[in-house]
Structure 1
Amino acid sequence: MFNDIDAVLFDLDGTLIDSAPDLGAAADKMRTDRGLPGLPLTDYRPMAGAGARGMLGVAFGMTPENADFGALKEEFFLNYEACMTQRTYAFDGVAELIEKIDHAGLKWGVVTNKSARFTLPLTRQMPLFSTAQTIISGDTTPHAKPHPAPLLEAARQLGVAPGRCVYVGDDERDIVAGRAAGMPTVAAAYGYLGTTDTSSWNADATIVSPAALLYLLRMA
């Protein structure tokens, strides 16, 4: 249970929304455009949190060190821009969670490593984010997570002390960033983690569904 919390901050992909179908489709189009057979979403989903690096790794076995990575990354980005809200949806229970956070009078927002090029259009198109009071992208500050700068900027924009913000994320870098920012942290184990053991992350709590956060916030 958390006491004296005034704001809740969330990672985006894998925490609030399931964007794996659109990310996977953007990468798989690159395969089919080249005459290669398509791959199932189950191949792409575990790497969805790694963005272009993860998707190109699945689609082509490619790493950022590959000479063609930059060009293929931009092709992936263009594909993703064209489809990024076609199959993306909030995880079950997220809409209800946000509604209760709003009803309780808590502030909330998003801190993601996704660049503003994608974060801003996506969050503007999804009604879920209409009451978010801050959206921090991976390029909003000079540093991305696991650096605490994006989280500290979110707290500043909300006008809330970092220690009175909870940060919820589905990647170890989220927990590292939250702890460095002086925020209580929650590992979201319902997104892309599968059987990943989060115990080594040293989060203050782990939830297996969005609704479980309500108990930690004393709102259930």
Structure 2
Amino acid sequence: MPAAWSGVRAVLFDLDGTLLDSAPDLGAAANVLRRSAGLEDLPLSAYRPYVGTGARGMLRIALGLQPDAADFDAHREAFFQAYEAVLMQHSVLFAGVPQLVQQLEQQGICWGIVTNKSERFTHPIALQQATLARAGALVCGDTTAHAKPHPAPLLHACERLGVAPEQAIYVGDDERDMQAARAAGMRGVAADYGYLGGVESTDAWNPDAAIKNPLELLNLLGLD
């Protein structure tokens, strides 16, 4: 294990595209809006790369809507309601996540979730998913005054876990995740198996490391 990765006491994870494959439910919600507009469903492959961009990305793909559109807020709330109706019907943890979390816990490394998804959705998801419910910290997009890429959510998670930022790492599948990690003074690990916002490589994000599946993190930390 490289010396730079010794002394890690906490691992923070993004949620969508890092721990949870929520694309099927989010795509289904977006297609509800398309059907309401008299349009045919789009395949999941059209939505999957942009799940990490939240409602803005889903509405852009589904309806061609931009945030400055006059009816954007109304469509966003309609999307949120459609998502609530299908929440966790088809979402699953990425392969290896339960084993990864179990190994971290067995090694005495605390872990938490830092997501830009609002508490409105994140808390019900955690209640329904036993593995996610064990997170030592759950910080949502509206838990603090700022969302990623601002460092405030990551720093708040560190406070809850009782660790210094330099003792933590952050794993995520979006460039904002790496920006937030740097701003918070912690190392960032790109989840190359995630949604990635449509890019083919995460190299331009300048992560401190990258993993191709969740269990590779154990190797990075010298825990395999």
Q: State TM-score, norm by structure 1.
A: 0.97
Name the structure 2 match of 1:145.
148
Note the C-alpha offset of 1:199: 1.1
For residues 130 and 104 of structure 1, what CA distance do their matches in structure 2 show?
19
Alignment length (residue pairs): 220
Name the structure 1 match of 2:121.
118
Q: Secondary structure at the match of 2:113?
A: strand
Note the C-alpha offset of 1:35: 2.5
Q: Secondary structure at the match of 1:9?
A: strand
For residues 166 and 155 of structure 2, what CA distance do their matches in structure 1 show?
10
Say whether 1:172 aligns with 2:181: no
Residues 174 and 195, structure 2, Cα contact 8 Å, conserved in 1: no
Instruction: Choose from 129, 132, 141 the match for 2:132.
Output: 129
> What are the Cα deviations for residues 133-160 of structure 1, in whole angstroms up to 9, with x where unaligned?
1000011110111010000000000001
| Deviant stretches of 4+, over 6 Å | none
> What are the Cα deviations for residues 41-67 of structure 1, in whole angstroms up to 9, with x where unaligned?
111111111111111111111111111
Q: State TM-score, norm by structure 2.
A: 0.96
Name the structure 1 match of 2:222.
218
Note the C-alpha offset of 1:34: 3.0
Instruction: Choose from 198, 209, 216 the match for 2:213.
Output: 209
Say whether 1:72 aligns with 2:67: no
Note the C-alpha offset of 1:36: 1.6
- Identity level (%): 55
Note the C-alpha offset of 1:195: 5.2
For residues 50 and 120 of structure 2, what CA distance do their matches in structure 1 show?
20
User: Counterpart amino acid of 1:30?
Assistant: L
For residues 37 and 7 of structure 2, what CA distance do their matches in structure 1 show?
55
Instruction: Choose from 155, 158, 162 the match for 1:155.
Output: 158
Unaligned runs of 5+ in 1: none
For residues 60 and 23 of structure 1, what CA distance do their matches in structure 2 show?
14
Unaligned runs of 5+ in 2: none
Residue pairs, 1:1-220, within 5 angstroms: 1=2, 2-193=5-196, 196-220=200-224
For residues 179 and 137 of structure 2, what CA distance do their matches in structure 1 show?
20
RMSD of equivalent CA atoms: 1.0
